Amino acid sequence: MKIIFSASPANRAAAYALRQAVFVEERGISADVEFDVKDTDQCEYAVLYLQPDLPITTLRLEPQADHVMRFGRVCTRKAYRGHGWGRQLLTAAEEWATQRGFTHGEIHGELTAQRFYELCGYRVTAGPYDEDGAPVVIMHKQLL
């Protein structure tokens, strides 16, 4: 198992493939909505690989103002859900963010994932509201 934080083409491709499988194919979100203007060549992604050619969970790192890191587009390959891989990646991403001076984490999570984020220490601060066709709550966590 290895976690890579990078904007490299290979890591972006792994993140995009996971998002395509989970959000577009499984959840039915339009690819034009899923892949947005934040997906630039400079955007960094965290990807957890079980093997060098097997990415299973990812998230997009989105620095915000006031030392807040937004963890976006969090998803795990269907066959690997429920085994703690998403939580392991999110924890590693929080540590990565604190090492870079971020003090708070933010997630815009779908209602179906709210309990998962609560178990990771996040608390609802706004919502629910519609984001890209799904009911979403905004959640925050103090990292330091």
Question: What CATH number did the domain enclosing 51 receive?
Answer: 3.40.630.30
Give the total number of structural domains in the chain: 1
33-86: pLDDT as tens digits: 999 999 999 999 999 999 999 999 999 999 999 999 999 999 999 999 999 999
Range of the domain at 7: 2-142
Averaged pLDDT of the chain = 96
State residue 134's pLDDT score.
82
What residues contact residue 9 under an 8 Å CB cut-off, 6+ apart? Answer: none
96-129: pLDDT as tens digits: 999 999 999 999 999 999 999 999 999 999 999 9
Whether 100 and 108 have beta carbons less than 8 Å apart is answered as no
* SS3 label, residue 53: coil
Average pLDDT over residues 12-28: 96
